[in-house]
Chains A and B, each alone.
Chain A
Amino acid sequence: MIDRRFSCVGQPTPRFDAADKVSGRSQFLADLRFPGMWEAAVVAPSIAHGRVVSLTVPSVRDCEGVILTARDVPGVNQVGIAQRDQELLVTGVVRSAGDRLAIVAAPTRSAAKALAHKVSVRLESLPVVEDVEAALSPEAVAIHPGGNVCAELRVTRGDVAAVMGHADIVIERVYRTGYQEHAYLEPQGAVAVPDGDSRMTVYSTCQCPFYIRRAVADALGCPQNRVRVIQTCTGGGFGGKEDYPSEVAACAALLSRAARRPVRLVFDRHEDFRWSTKRHRTVITHRLAADSRGRMLAMQVDAVYDAGAYAGLSVIVAERGNSSACGPYDLSAVDVRTRVVYTNSLFGGAFRGFGAPQVTFATERQVDELARRVGMDPARVREINLWKKGSVTAAGEVLTGPVPARATLRRALSLSGYNGRATQRSGQRWRGTGIATSYYGNNLHKGGERLDRSHARVTINADGSISVWVGLTEMGQGLLTAVAVMVAEELGAQLDRVLVSHVDTDAVQDSGPTVASRGTIMSGMAVRRAAATLRRRMLRVARSRFCGKDLRICDGYLVGRRGGEALLAWDDLVALCHANRIEMTATGFYYPPARAYDPATGQGQPYATNSYTAHVAEVEVDTGTGLVRVLRVTAVHDVGRVIVPEGVRGQIEGGVVQGAGLALWEELKTHEGVLLNPGFTDYAIPGIADAPEVVWNVIERPWGGGPFGAKGIGEPSLISVPASIANAVSDALGVPVDDIPLTPERVMALVSREGAPRA
């Protein structure tokens, strides 16, 4: 995979921030100290739905603390990110257990908590809408004035009813997926530091500093240029720090403004579990029509996403689920209906995969059910139906570029030794193998197009060192190292001269959220433009010095293009430019070309390009206890171009394990909208003993719309993992799997099903 045409891109590259991280020197949010800083706490309700009868705030001396409620918000008491349906501090009605009735700051955390306890709340219970079935029932209480259906999205093409009416086979099943907690090791938090009375700096562990700037400005009632957001070294995000940090930051800022001092709000792990966003749970009714030779004809998918009490990002998540529901398969007709439904349960939000893992699970299970029905190998059924160049997608898009869907599948089958596999049902440990193939639409959905732009700034300092600012965030995935590699490559400089900073909203223009696996693509395209501008300026100076010569900059030297002789070292070239008073700062701005898309029918080009993935999972099911061990997962990804090999590997291995958690071990249990098992004691994320062997490989067919041809990997690395594991368990047990997570109790229920195979 190492391409000799590049000096830096694709070369083994240790992370530039690793030394600080291993030595404990990195400053995470809770490591920051500010003189006079106070600590904050939140007053949250004990029930998920209720009318506020009274909210009594004790008087408190200025030196003891501050307590704020809705009436103390100087700006707008609204934090809804896409729809304005969510108060920052509750006024009349509590709609979720994560609502805030009041926020408190005091000199210490324990003093803040003690003060919070003194706020007296009386709530009159309202009926709790526990889940989407309850929300959609005719007698359901409306959580918001418009009713409980927040949004409905469609994809329609062809005549599904007619196709299904004539099909040899129609398979209909109802699938359910559970919540997932991001469980980033670093909990949510923000520190707000006032600068006089009219400016505020907010430090946040986050993925989207610009969302925070808007939320803080709204809450304070001030223009955005008076708010500066600085992203701290962020200890994991996975989507959980996309929108929620805005709520945390707005609270910290309000308290800081009121107390006239820095205020820190950091959640403890239980609070984080109870209040922050989760992967949406879904109910998906899926109908697949096919002929008796395994050729798929049509899909009708009805997917319902449980948003919780507020829209948050749910419609956007559902947008991706909606567009991805039919998988990478040739179909002559599709009918997808995706609904986002309000309940009083946990707050659904962005989580790696963003709506796609759920529909991928349902579709990939259906493909295996089809294979079982027609007596064909699941790999063969996929081979027959996967998109190829020229295929038409569910959105009616003709795939004119390369479509390595089959290539990823074949390589995964080959690497995993799939053809030599054997389903084993002797003794109590049964083994099975499962496949899942999926595609991922890169960058933001057409619906988010207005956000899909990116800004970067590169400065070459007089000593030859290079400073880079991008608008996309590092949260562990290695983005800033990848950016440095791309800058070095584009400039022709040595990698160790480049330093990329965490995002500062004063340094760059809003570049949209670091989501949708768009970090490498968007920051890379922008930063290449900035670097290319600088390279051109430097070469112009160089040409006037070395007249007539054909020049280029490479590996930290100015070289003659013909002979390759080194003419000037980088530092000397830079000094020459500075001496000539050349502007050695450049910006780059990039947005993908506009696309056509009709949301009423889901037809058009929802995404800039697709990436293809195949996962093969091998599991061992203990049919006595219901515990599932994942033995090995083989992952093959179509990534366009590898920028940093260790980064790609890290995403693939991490995605397998986090995806396995969704498939098997992670279950959030609620009762009347309240979380019963917050914390790591009773929510089992995979530990080191649970990690399967991971065999991985990538296909590099460069994409013209990506920097050096690169596509995204952050989410494809997870999306089809749960489906492959569910298919493997189904293979082992010989029964369909309709629900994830496949907890031991669910597995035992499957084992004992009437008609299920015995050892």
Chain B
Amino acid sequence: MKFYSPATEQEALELRSRFGSRAKPLAGGTDLLISVRTAGWPEAVLSLRHLGWAGIVREQGATRIGATTTASAIARELRTTLPLLADAASWVGGPQVRNRATIGGNLANGSPAADMALCLLVMDAQVELVSLRGSRRLTVGEFVRGPKTTALADDEFVRSVTVPAPDATSRAWFGKVGPRSRHFISRVVVAGLVGRRGDSLRLGLGAVAPTPVRARNAERFAASQLVLSDETIEEISRLAAEECRPIDDFRATGGYRRRIVRVLVTRFLREVRA
């Protein structure tokens, strides 16, 4: 394996372009160092460590988070600005993993159960991709295409994500369910933002479809309602559960996952209403 630790972005982009799919970018390494145990090492590894891509910047109300910003940093520094994302970040693995796992890696890994990626989807974040050809922006929905599959071209890196400022009155809710209390890969994960009166609902569901998804039908229905009554909440959660396409795998059955989506969405909205 050839290891490169480019000192400048230009150098990194050239290496990425040269190696293409024969190289893997390395940020925190918490996914890569596990995947190589079964998949073997790629021909080259490109470390993003020295590119200055870690950091959080406010830009005209939006928040730009560098791709190599760790989950710990996000959990710590964005608690008031982006509470939903900070909450999700605090649930990634245990502290040792959070201290290394990055938001760029979480996105690029393309896991349907990715907690931070789900929140970015809910918040309509934009993913910045760079290559020698220039840069482009995609929504999270455009970026994550399928299980472990993204729109990242072989010559591209994720450089940052930009999150628009959430509505000042919106409430955030994040919940994940697994086999025990803490430190697990989500069997179901729900992330949501909603106004105090149940308006402007944004609802994200993870681990229940090939990618993290927005429950658009549920959101549309919520938008059509004036009040967050019990019946409204029931219908929103029912629609959300219907919009999943969960599979049966050794972690959980699809039926269980759908059921938990309903429960978590209901809890979210009832808490907001209280």
Chain A interface (Cβ < 8 Å from any Cβ of B): 428, 624-627, 629, 665, 667, 669, 676-677, 681-682, 684, 686-687, 689-690, 743-745, 748
Question: Nearest residue in B to A623 (C-beta to C-beta)?
Answer: B263
In the docked arrangement, what's the CA distance between A745 and B182, Å? 18
Check A684–B256 contact: CB distance below 8 A.
no
Chain B contacts for A629, CB-based, 8 A: 181
In the docked arrangement, what's the CA distance between A667 and B250, Å? 10
Check B250–A745 contact: CB distance below 8 A.
no
Chain B contacts for A689, CB-based, 8 A: 180-183
Check B183–A687 contact: CB distance below 8 A.
yes
Say yes or no: is B178 at the interface (Cβ < 8 Å to chain A): yes
Q: How far is the CB of A457 from chain B (nearest CB, A)?
A: 44
Interface size class of B (residues with CB under 8 A): 20 to 34
In the docked arrangement, what's the CA distance between A313 and B251, Å? 30
Say yes or no: is B67 at the interface (Cβ < 8 Å to chain A): no
Chain A contacts for B184, CB-based, 8 A: 684
Check A687–B180 contact: CB distance below 8 A.
yes
List, sorted by A's number, 19 A–B pairs whose CB atoms are closer than 8 Å. A624-B260, A624-B264, A624-B267, A625-B177, A625-B263, A627-B177, A629-B181, A665-B179, A677-B250, A677-B251, A682-B185, A684-B178, A684-B179, A687-B182, A687-B183, A690-B180, A690-B181, A743-B179, A745-B252
Check A676–B181 contact: CB distance below 8 A.
no
In the docked arrangement, what's the CA distance between A748 and B253, Å? 12
Listed residue (B181, B185, B259, B260) with the most chain A CB atoms within 10 angstroms of its CB: B181
Question: Nearest residue in A to B181 (C-beta to C-beta)?
Answer: A689
Chain A contacts for B177, CB-based, 8 A: 625, 627, 744
Q: Contact string, B163-196, partner A, CB cutoff 8 A, digits 1/0? A: 0000000000000011111111100000000000
Chain B contacts for A748, CB-based, 8 A: 256, 259
Chain A contacts for B251, CB-based, 8 A: 677, 682
Chain B contacts for A627, CB-based, 8 A: 177, 180-181
Chain A contacts for B260, CB-based, 8 A: 624-625
Chain B contacts for A690, CB-based, 8 A: 180-182
Nearest 3 interchain pairs by C-beta: A624-B263, A684-B179, A689-B181
In the docked arrangement, what's the CA distance between A71 and B106, Å? 50
8 more A-B residue pairs beyond the given contacts A627-B177, A676-B250, A682-B185, with a C-beta to C-beta distance below 8 A: A428-B263, A625-B263, A627-B181, A677-B251, A684-B178, A687-B183, A689-B183, A745-B252
Q: How far is the CB of B170 from chain A (nearest CB, A)?
A: 24
Question: Nearest residue in B to A743 (C-beta to C-beta)?
Answer: B179
In the docked arrangement, what's the CA distance between A748 and B178, Å? 14
Q: How far is the CB of B84 from chain A (nearest CB, A)?
A: 20
Q: From residue 260 to 274 of chain B, which have CB atoms closer than 8 A to chain A? A: 260, 263-264, 266-267
Chain A contacts for B266, CB-based, 8 A: 624
Q: How far is the CB of A309 from chain B (nearest CB, A)?
A: 22
Question: Nearest residue in A to B93 (C-beta to C-beta)?
Answer: A681
In the docked arrangement, what's the CA distance between A260 and B181, Å? 50
In the docked arrangement, what's the CA distance between A682 and B178, Å? 10
Check A745–B253 contact: CB distance below 8 A.
yes
Chain A contacts for B267, CB-based, 8 A: 624
Listed residue (A669, A743, A745) with the most chain B CB atoms within 10 angstroms of its CB: A745
Chain A contacts for B180, CB-based, 8 A: 627, 665, 684, 686-687, 689-690
In the docked arrangement, what's the CA distance between A687 and B260, Å? 22
Listed residue (B180, B184, B259, B266) with the most chain A CB atoms within 10 angstroms of its CB: B180
- Known A665-B180, A690-B180; contact A682-B259, beta-carbon cutoff 8 A: no
Check B256–A681 contact: CB distance below 8 A.
no
Q: Contact string, B225-269, partner A, CB cutoff 8 A, digits 1/0? A: 000000000000000000000000011110010011001101100
In the docked arrangement, what's the CA distance between A629 and B179, Å? 11
Q: How far is the CB of B273 from chain A (nearest CB, A)?
A: 15
Question: Nearest residue in A to B256 (C-beta to C-beta)?
Answer: A745
Q: Contact string, B99-141, partner A, CB cutoff 8 A, digits 1/0? A: 0000000000000000000000000000000000000000000
In the docked arrangement, what's the CA distance between A299 and B267, Å? 46
In the docked arrangement, what's the CA distance between A428 and B264, Å? 12
Chain A contacts for B253, CB-based, 8 A: 745
Chain A contacts for B252, CB-based, 8 A: 745
Check A744–B263 contact: CB distance below 8 A.
no
In the docked arrangement, what's the CA distance between A428 and B181, Å? 17
In the docked arrangement, what's the CA distance between A635 and B134, Å? 66
Question: Nearest residue in A to B260 (C-beta to C-beta)?
Answer: A625
Chain A contacts for B181, CB-based, 8 A: 627, 629, 687, 689-690
Q: How far is the CB of A110 from chain B (nearest CB, A)?
A: 10
In the docked arrangement, what's the CA distance between A689 and B95, Å? 14
Chain B contacts for A686, CB-based, 8 A: 180
In the docked arrangement, what's the CA distance between A682 and B250, Å? 9
